[in-house]
Structure 1
Amino acid sequence: MLPAAASPPRYAALARELADEIARGVRPAGSRLPTEVELSAERGVSRATVRAALLRLEELGLVSRRRRSGTHVTAGAPRRPGTYAQSLAGIDDLLQYAVETERRVLRVGPVIADDLLAARLALRPGSRWCQVSSLRVAPGRDGLPLCWTDTYADADAAPRDLERRLREGSHRGLIATLLAERSGRPIDEVAQDIRASGIPEGEVAEALQAEPGGHALEITRRYIDPAGIPLAVTVSLHPAERFSYSTRLRRTGAPEGSSAGG
């Protein structure tokens, strides 16, 4: 189930602390970071938290990790300035993305799912939704927007003052968490589809300050309650040069026919 609060995971806070030390030259390029055991004792966190934080730094291009030689600082700033690197290992990472970026609402309005929209997003034809079109940007920066997002919120679950809350910034987290809290329908699963796309001409290209027809990554997420009914569906369009995405895959059991013995 999706947590009600969108507080940053500890590994993300530790990653930011280490990245700041690297940026300030406390840990210059070429230097070796303490081991996981040493960092765990030094910062008062678990080794799993340290490992996740170092993975985040590696994704940003700040460190390189090699078995037996340890973790070394490779750069003083994240690669490709203006690019957001997202790691997805669980729902907490989606919450972290909402915390680390800023939503700029463009418009909010009701929409009825016609046959085309229903087929595209796997919705029930004729169902009522509240569409929120917005940009995601890195906070405190004057750089280019990270993505254009259309969020389709279940009209029955959305609060009447949804637009006010989003525009004034009183709710910075995922819109889906707000719907879950109000409706009492916890989010049990997030289904995600990723595909290559292009930047459409007109409003989207202008808002993103991107070349029409340019390469993009389209990510569709369906936030589903325990009954299998979507509370919200988001469609985000990321210009290719501004966003990188990584997923960690782990073996959940021994492959069929394999032996546990050495």
Structure 2
Amino acid sequence: MSDTYEKAVGAALTATPLHEQVTTRIAARIADGQWPEGFVLPPEAELARQLGVSYGTVRRAMQALTQDGLVIRRRRTGTVVTGRAPRHSLDRWYKYYRLHSKDGQLVNTETRNIDLYEDTATLKEAQQLRLTEGAPIGRITRLRISDGRPVMIDRIALPIGRLSSFPQKPEDLPPLLYKWLLDEHGLRLGALREEVTARIANDADRRLLNLDGAAPVALLQIDEVGYDLQNEPLLVMQHSALTDEHCYINEVR
């Protein structure tokens, strides 16, 4: 086993229940595509050694991952990554992303915050977020960078009234938005409603995506409303993705 592998799996654990931390640690590597479909996980005793936890803690984590459909136990082979989406992904996943390459591989991206500022809600946003028109919201614009190239624009609106504070500079906002909402504001994402369409890139899109020339460029448009565990609207998101080398995969189970 390589040093790089052990460092990635065995980073310092925090104060939340150990089996949940182990579950999240392993699930994150699967979600990132670092442990792809068909990957055979190390034996539980080896994982326990790397993480510095008991065999029983790792066993509980493996049971949770199996129940969620992320791994499967195979006789003679061991524990294998299934490649399927988790049954309860939004309860645990903070890196929610489904953009894949045309061959079906999950795309690993860098999130770059471009702009954020306080504004007022449009009529449509107010309806989606159950606010009054003109209520204060925070706006965030982000880019997803893959292999040095911007491939998706994220435009996000959040109700200021539900946040303990709103960052003043793009660099103050961490890349994992859902984790930030939970850790800093106690807001956990419970559900997402998506509407998928297509459109032609406008001038603002072309600038952000570094599109040259005048030829029309098709974008995949994913409009989402996120809800908390009480089914109250938490945020509105608009994702605009290039389609020449990528596709959006949504597995229904």
Q: TM-score, normalised by structure 2?
A: 0.60
- Which residue number in structure 1 is paired with residue 83 of structure 2? 55
Secondary structure of 2:162's partner? coil
The equivalent position to 1:197 in structure 2, one of 186, 196, 199, is 199
Pair 1:122–1:240, CA change in 2 (3 A): farther
CA shift in 2, pair 1:55/1:17, >3 Å: closer
Query: Using a 3 Å threshold, how does the CA distance of structure 1 residues 12 and 226 change in structure 2: closer, same or farther?
Result: closer
Q: Which residue of structure 2 aligns with residue 246 of structure 1?
A: 249
CA drift at 1:131: 0.3
Bigger Cα displacement from structure 2, 239-248 vs 127-136: 239-248
Change (3 A) 1:88 1:244: farther
The 5 Å alignment of 1:213-224 reads 213-224=216-227
1:16 match? 34
The residue identity in structure 1 corresponding to 2:204 is E
Counterpart of 2:210, as a letter, is Q
Separation in 2, partners of 1:227, 1:128? 22
Q: Structure 2: how far apart are the matches of 1:226 and 1:41?
A: 34
* 1:122, distance to aligned residue in structure 2 (A): 5.6
Q: Offset of 1:100 from its aligned partner? A: 4.2
| Cα distance in 1 for residues equivalent to 2:35 and 2:229 | 37
Partner of 1:79: none
| CA drift at 1:132 | 0.6
Measured after TM superposition, the shift of residue 41 of structure 1 is 6.8
Q: Is the 2:125–2:236 Cα contact (8 Å) retained in structure 1? A: no
Tell me the CA shift for residue 152 of structure 1. 0.6
Q: Deviations over 1:38-85 (max 9, x none)?
A: x357687677544684537xxxxxxxxxxxxxxxxxxxxxxxxxxxxx
**Please, what is the CA RMSD of the aligned residues?**
3.9
Closer, same or farther: CA 159–195 of 1 in aligned 2, 3 Å? same
Query: Would you say how many aligned residue pairs link Structure 1 and Structure 2?
Result: 193
Q: What CA distance in whole angstroms lies between the structure 1 residues aligned with 2:126 and 2:33?
A: 40
Say whether the 8 Å CA contact 2:189–2:227 is kept in structure 1. yes
Residue aligning to 2:141: 133
Aligned to 1:232: 235
User: Given the alignment of the two structures, is residue 150 of structure 1 paired with residue 155 of structure 2, yes or no?
Assistant: yes
Alignment CA distance shift 1:212-1:203 (3 Å):
farther
Task: Tell me how far apart the structure 1 counterparts of residues 86 and 167 of structure 2 sit (CA, whole Å).
Answer: 27
Match of 1:112 in 2: 120
**What residue in structure 2 maps to residue 186 of structure 1?**
188
Given candidates 161, 167, 178, the residue that maps to 2:171 is 167
For the 8 Å contact 2:195–2:224, the answer to whether it is kept is yes
Deviation at 1:189, TM superposition (A): 1.8
For structure 2, the residue ranges without an aligned partner over 5 or more in a row are 1-19, 48-61, 73-79, 99-106
Distance 2:35 2:230 in 1: 40
Structure 1 residues 179 and 93: CA distance shift in structure 2, 3 A: closer
- Tell me by how many angstroms 1:242 deviates: 3.7
- State TM-score, norm by structure 1: 0.58
Partners of 2:156 and 2:32 in 1: how far apart? Answer: 31
Structure 1: gaps (5+ residues): 20-32, 57-86, 251-262
Query: Are residues 15 and 213 of structure 1, via their aligned partners in 2, closer, same or farther at CA, if it must alter by over 3 Å?
Result: closer
Matched position secondary structure for 1:188: strand
Cα deviation for residue 216 of structure 1 reads 1.2
